[in-house]
Amino acid sequence: MASVATKPLQELLNEAFPDATELSVVDRTGGGDHFQVTVASPRFEGLSLVDQHRLVYDALAGPLGDGSIHELRIKTKGT
């Protein structure tokens, strides 16, 4: 399974959430396939947690789809 660095994931999230007031990607295990993502964005205001997470999944569809990301933990919040 291919390893994904945090920088490309950060770039994908920056593109999807240019108005984010907080955005971080942490490699939880050091293996390059288990990540913790935190995104705070006004785009999440009024959305359910499921819909907020769906937007993050959509932004990371490439690495999720090719199996590069084995586990993804998501924390979202409106601003």
The answer to the question of residue 43 being in a domain is: yes
Contact indicator for 28, 75 with CB cutoff of 8 Å: no
The answer to the question of residue 23 being in a domain is: yes
Q: What is the pLDDT of residue 4?
A: 56
Look up the CATH number of the domain holding residue 38: 3.30.300.90
The answer to the question of residue 44 being in a domain is: yes
Amino acid at 24: S
Q: What is the pLDDT of residue 2?
A: 42
Please give the residue range of the domain that contains residue 14: 6-77
Q: Considering the entire predicted model, what is its pTM?
A: 0.91
In the chain, how many domains are there? Answer: 1
Dist CA 55 CA 27 (whole Å)? 20
The answer to the question of residue 1 being in a domain is: no
Q: What is the pLDDT of residue 79?
A: 79
- Mean pLDDT by runs of 10 across the 79 residues of the chain is 74 97 95 95 97 98 94 94
